[in-house]
């Protein structure tokens, strides 16, 4: 087990809807995410994924229970900036999270808020743009970029505060195929090469299959937690109507036609390898 980085204890979150009704969005979440993990968070709409994710950097505070980030209690007002420095967020809509008029000034926004000296901001901006491969665009205004490029700028903006963890809240759902590929590749690389803890919220089961651990939420609870091979094909998860990874669906149909294939084939590569074994 890696060193715990984010821990929640009996986390509950209740809010009052416009009609005055109290709604429990999170009903008792006990979760530990270790340093350097790559976790996918899936579940139907309204299951509480985004609500949970917003507790990880103190955008929301628990109604009951506790959230600890790197040993800091998020509900302690003195820790808010420290928590936000450690956990960055990238959101769904690439347009609605870019603040400044040029790429590099937007990336500088986070460190500026944390009071980092100008020379150090410069270093971090250059480095973050390098990591996401957007250095050539540093003087561009954001509206001249494609969706995938804007999302990479948003990732650079999160990286510039030197976080240990980035929470991605459906970062690819508004992108075309190429943008999706660029963003996912960046996410995977950050996790593999820099040991960044990644929490990826997604509706896309092929993306969830990239993680090493999948959390399934339903009705404000975590209903399943395990490696993708076990979780994504579990009957109760399939019952949530989230769909299957492409390779898993192909494997299922091949099995139906009598081709013997092992379970847990989530990627095209794994499926191809299994088929090669079968037909050798």
Partner 1 sequence: MNLLLPGMYFAADTVLHRLDPRVKMGAATVLMMLPFAARHPLGHLLTVGLVGAAVLLSRAPWRALLGTLRTVFWLGFFMFFFYFFTTPGRPLVALGGVTVTLEGVLAGALQVYRLCLLAVIAALLTYTTSPLQLTHGLEAMLSPLARLGFPAREMGMVMTISLRFVPTFFEEIETLSRAQKARGVDLSSGPPWQRIRNTVPVLVPLFLSAIRRAEDLAVAMEARGFRSQPHRTRLYRLTLTRADAIAALIVLACGGVGIAL
Q: Which residues sit at the interface with partner 1, rule CB under 8 A?
A: 54, 57, 59, 81, 84-85, 88-89, 91, 93, 95-102, 104-105, 108-118, 121-122, 125, 141-143, 157-158, 161
Nearer to partner 1, 139 or 276 (CB): 139
Tell the smallest beta-carbon distance from residue 242 to partner 1 (Å): 25
Tell the smallest beta-carbon distance from residue 51 to partner 1 (Å): 12
Nearer to partner 1, 159 or 251 (CB): 159
Nearer to partner 1, 141 or 243 (CB): 141
Nearer to partner 1, 165 or 248 (CB): 165
Nearer to partner 1, 145 or 208 (CB): 145
- Phi and psi of 132, rounded to 5°? -90, 5
Nearer to partner 1, 111 or 220 (CB): 111
Tell the smallest beta-carbon distance from residue 169 to partner 1 (Å): 10
Tell the smallest beta-carbon distance from residue 5 to partner 1 (Å): 17
DSSP per position, the chain = -PPEEEEEEEEEEEEE-TTS-EEEEEEEEEEEEETT-EEEEE-STTSSHHHHHHHTTTSS--SEEEEEETTEETTSGGGHHHHHHHEEEE-S-GGGG--SSSHHHHHHHHHHHTT--HHHHHHHHHHHHHHTT-GGGTTS-GGGS-HHHHHHHHHHHHHTT--SEEEEESTTTTS-HHHHHHHHHHHHHHHHHH--EEEEE-S-HHHHTTSSEEEEEETTEEEEEE-HHHHTT-HHHHTTT----HHHHHHHHHHHTT----S---SHHHHHHHHHHHH-
Tell the smallest beta-carbon distance from residue 277 to partner 1 (Å): 46
Tell the smallest beta-carbon distance from residue 253 to partner 1 (Å): 39
């Amino acid at each position: 087990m890696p060193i715990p980085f984010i821990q929640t204890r009996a986390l509950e979150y209740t809010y009052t809807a416009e009609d005055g009704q109290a709604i429990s969005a999170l009903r008792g979440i006990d979760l530990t995410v270790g340093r350097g993990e790559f976790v996918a968070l899936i579940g139907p709409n309204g299951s509480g994924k985004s609500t949970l994710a917003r507790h990880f950097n103190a955008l929301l505070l628990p109604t009951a229970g506790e959230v600890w980030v790197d040993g800091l209690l998020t509900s302690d007002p003195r820790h808010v900036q420290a928590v936000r420095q450690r956990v960055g967020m990238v959101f769904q809509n690439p347009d609605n999270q870019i603040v400044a008029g040029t790429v590099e000034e937007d990336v500088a926004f986070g460190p500026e808020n944390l009071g980092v000296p100008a020379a150090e901001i410069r270093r971090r901006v250059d480095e973050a743009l390098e990591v996401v491969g957007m250095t050539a665009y540093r003087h561009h205004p954001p509206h001249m970029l494609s969706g995938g490029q804007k999302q990479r700028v948003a990732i650079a903006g999160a990286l510039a505060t030197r976080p240990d963890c980035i929470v991605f809240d459906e970062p690819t759902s508004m992108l075309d195929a190429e943008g999706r590929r660029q963003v996912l590749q960046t996410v995977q690389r950050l996790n593999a090469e820099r040991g960044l803890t990644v929490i990826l919220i997604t509706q896309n089961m092929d993306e969830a299959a990239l993680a090493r651990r999948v959390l399934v939420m339903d009705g404000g609870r975590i209903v399943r937690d395990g490696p993708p091979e076990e979780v994504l094909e579990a009957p109760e998860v399939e019952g949530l109507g989230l769909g299957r990874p492409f390779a898993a669906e192909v494997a299922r149909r091949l099995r139906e036609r009598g081709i013997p294939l092992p379970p847990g084939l989530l990627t095209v590569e794994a499926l191809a390898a299994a088929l090669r074994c079968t037909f050798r």
